[in-house]
Amino acid sequence: MTSRDGFSWTPQEGLKPGVPSLGVIQPPTNITSTAKYDLIVVGAGYCGLTATRDATLAGLNVLLLEARDRIGGRSWSSNIGGYPFEMGGTWVHWHQPHVWREISRYGLSTALESSFDFSRGVNHFRLNSATSSTTRSHDDEDKLLASGLEKFVNVDGAHGRNIMPQPHDIFHNEQSRVFDSMSAQDRLDQIANDLTPDERTTVEAFVLLCSGGTLSNMSFLEFLHWWALCGFTYQGCLDMLITYKFRQGQSSFARHFFQEASKTGRLSYSFSTPLASIENSSTGVSVTTRAGATFTASRIICTVPLNVLGTIRFDPPLAKGKQEAIGIGHVNQCVKVHAEIKNKDMRSWSGITHPHNKLVYAIGDGTTPSGNTHIVCFGAAQNHIQAEEDIEQTINAVEALAPEMRDIQRLVFHNWAKDEFAKGAWFFSPPRLLADHLDDMRARHGNVLFANSDWAVGWRSFIDGAIEEGTRAAAEVVSELLNEPGVARPNL
């Protein structure tokens, strides 16, 4: 099935909206009744899918409402010619506890493959800076990035270990709060004399890859949080952030959650169903869709991302702190472009082109069934590109990454910045948002619970964080509806 989301381009067919995906669900709805539900889950990303599955397995009757025509939210894959192109969140690792629990649950531990293959081909890293272009080994690439990043994070003489001893509670040490007042630019200014020109270029490119924002609008603390979760090393970042992915794509993983919930017989769902409003009362909640349909339940788990929450009307209005957080939003406007090129030797290539190119960071990420090399490329907000609006500019940006980057056979991408149900890619906070509003973002609103990777305490903004949040919210609802005296119990 083909989703409305995403774009593809080939020299033969030009630009086409919509790409095929295993995440598209048919039929698009199975609703047969307007009866009151125990729980309404808004959003079918990993957070909503986890909450839906856990609640249905516990015996609750659940209605899942999703604005898109597919599951996965900001983590989904296309499937073009039998090859998965990851449109959003991609990489997983066994050090992400919630993800690995689910991978083990569904027997998928052997379903992963590495993005990297340095066994053949050019087998080098290319650095295009403002002043030079050099080619070096991947070992030298790692040494360069490790050296620069260690200087960047070494705020305590221990590469961040002392100020963030417990990454799942970033303010366990109050000294960490000061770093949420700093941007990446502030930190780079502090250590400007300690970095070589090449270290500066690669550090900037790496942190922009992580944030999808600008050096000035991204929180330095949030990068320290990523660093801590990755074991306080560059190798840990490489292993956990950009190495292991599902051989059949993220959407193949997400389908397991949806199918398990469906098999309980307690799941009703409707896709292509964006919400207009959520009304909260002492006896329950009701939602009204943009099309005018109304559904009621005892509880709602709202998994809508921070940057989109402001498009839904809440009655009564949300608390001041949550409204302030929504008004600030997160900064990630990352561009992710997949390029399929004829040069087979580029499978072992990686490169940084910064600060003068629209695409900053790229790696050889696979081999398509036709034998072509798949390159995945990233651009950040400070060099933003609207790929579908200027495909020639996008082609030029891909070709500028390396002299060998020619004979582009296909481009595939999703414009997260203009996606009305995302308004940005994965969460990355601006300065002060976490220190001032993390608790506000996590707070419930009467019978409405808010769950999203945007405010997870662990792998925030990752698939793992989404599963963490869905698990938390479902457990809270199940406990209330099944165990608390005075609360109506569902029919089991």
Distance CA 163, CA 178 (A): 10
Distance CA 5, CA 20 (A): 9
199 is in an annotated binding site: no
Q: DSSP state, 248? A: T
Distance CA 43, CA 51 (A): 10
428 is in an annotated binding site: no
Under a CB-based contact definition with an 8 Å cutoff, are residues 125 and 138 in contact?
yes
Q: DSSP state, 45? A: B
Distance CA 436, CA 325 (A): 8
Q: DSSP state, 409? A: E
- First and final C-alpha spacing in the chain: 35
HSE-up of residue 28 (Cα within 13 Å, Cβ side): 11
CA angle at 457 for the pair 308 and 61, rounded to the nearest 5°: 65
Tokens encoding 35: 């009866």
For tokens 């889950």, what's the residue? 41
For tokens 């169903």, what's the residue? 273
Distance CA 267, CA 484 (A): 23
In DSSP notation, 421-441 reads TTSSSS--PPTTHHHHHHHHH
Q: DSSP state, 424? A: S
Which parts are annotated binding residues for substrate?
378
Which parts are annotated binding residues?
66-67, 378
Which parts are annotated binding residues for FAD?
66-67
